[in-house]
Structures are given as structure tokens and as C-alpha cells.
Amino acid sequence: TISPALLTLPEHDKATFFCNISMENDSGSEYSLNWYKETNHSQAQKTAEISPRKTMTETEKYRLINSAPVFKIEILNLHQNDSGSYYCGLITIFEPDKVMESNRSQLMVTAAPQMNATDEPEMEEGNPSEHIKAMLLGILLLAGVVVLLIFGYLTFTYRRGDVQKPPSENMPAEEKPPVVSISTVDYGVLEFQRDQRPPVPPETQPVEQTEYATIIFPEEKPVTPERGKKHLD
């Protein structure tokens, strides 16, 4: 037997059927359990198989669990083309003529519900923790913006105050120029005494005298040969 007789589920959900077998008379026989699907009374197609030696068999689409005498099949991630009739078949090994089939169960897969814009507020109300987290995050962001604005305003005001101060206030105390005192000047008349020593008479210079001398040259005698010879000797 197979149960339930009818399942109606939306897309992307999971369908579960149970197949109950009785092996009282053939408890020692080898067998396997197959699952079949029929669509619009067409020929049945084998979808999955499990043997009593395995406790579970899983594929991308089906998960089979052996809890003999009950076998469970799970059809994962439903789509509309999964709709149809399902049944299980017991195949006895070494006795090919002995095949037992269960009754049929119907599976109807409906389209997934579409989310409307009006459903969003209901989801928010049903999930208050997310709403509270969003509010806290918004408050933190707003507080951060306020702190940044205050810090920027104080920095701008401080810099502006430094610019408007006179240069003497901006300079450190040790770097201030020294104070220059302006003193008055009194003008007076200075008198110098003359030297009382008697004046020195100018040095008397000797009177220049001009002397004249007369140079008398002796009268030259004519040179005669005899006189010249004496001169040579």
C-alpha cells in the first residue's frame, strides 16, 4: 500500500510518500523496491530504486529511506511537471513472475505564490527583529553623521580663529619681538677752550744768496811738432 492518496503542494516544496510491504511468507527472498510515475495514464516510468541492503539512497531529485517494512520516498524541489500518479512496485529476485504493485497516489504541484507589494508590510510586521535591526542601523548612521558634522564645524572654527588673530598673538611667547623704547634727545652747545700756549714764531729761513764766480781759461798755445813730441813723451 502507498499513502497518502493525494498530495497538493506548491513549487519548490517537498513531497513525501510511504510504501508499506508485507513479506510474511517470503521473508528470506531477495527483492528490490521500485518507484514509478504515470502521467495522464501513459506508460509508467521507473523513477527510483532501493534494495533492502541499503538504508538510504539519494539523488539530486529523490531521497529513498529504508525502514522495512515501510519505505519512504521524498521528491525534492517540486516543479509543476512533477504532477502525476505515483506507486511502488515490489520485485522479487529469482522469481521474475512475482511482481506486486501498490495502489496509486496523486501528486498535484501548483505554481509558487507570487509576492505582491501589499505583502511586504505584512512580512515586516511578522519579522520584528529585522525591523529593529534596520532602525538601530539607521540611528547609528545618523549619529555618526552628526558627530562628523560637529567635528568639522569645530575644526573650521578653530582654524578661522587662528587666521583672524593678530600675528603677535599667534606667535609663541618666546618668539615675540623685543619691545623697543623710544628716548628723547636733548641738544646743547659745546664750547672748546683755546690753547693758552704762546704761538711759536715761524722758523726763520736763511736768506738765499747768489754767488757769482769767474772762470778764466788760460790761453791755448798752438801745437807745434816739437811740443807734440814732448807731450807724447
- State the DSSP string of 163-209: HHS-HHHHS-GGGSPPPPPP----------PPP-SPPPPPPPPPPP-
Measure CA of the first residue to CA of the last residue in the chain; give whole Å.
194
What count of other Cβ atoms lies within 10 Å of the Cβ of residue 105?
21
CA distance 48 to 34: 6
Mind listing the pLDDT tens digit for each residue in 57-108?
999 999 999 988 899 999 999 999 999 999 999 888 776 667 788 999 999 9
Mind listing the pLDDT tens digit for each residue in 49-58?
988 888 999 9
Residue 40 is predicted with a pLDDT of: 77
pTM: 0.47
pLDDT greater at residue 158 or residue 109: 109
Mind listing the pLDDT tens digit for each residue in 25-40?
555 567 888 999 987 7
pLDDT over 80 (residue 13): yes
Please state which of the ranges 123-137, 157-171, 195-209 shows the lowest mean pLDDT: 195-209
Residue 181 is predicted with a pLDDT of: 59
**pLDDT class for 124, splitting at 50, 70, 90?**
very low
pLDDT over 90 (residue 222): no
| Contact indicator for 20, 4 with CB cutoff of 8 Å | no
pLDDT over 60 (residue 163): no
207, HSE (Cβ side, Cα atoms, 13 Å): 3
What are the chain's domains? 2-110 (2.60.40.10)
Residue 168 is predicted with a pLDDT of: 54
DSSP H helices, the chain, are 119-126, 128-164, 167-170, 225-232
Q: What is the mean pLDDT of the chain?
A: 76
pLDDT greater at residue 226 or residue 102: 102
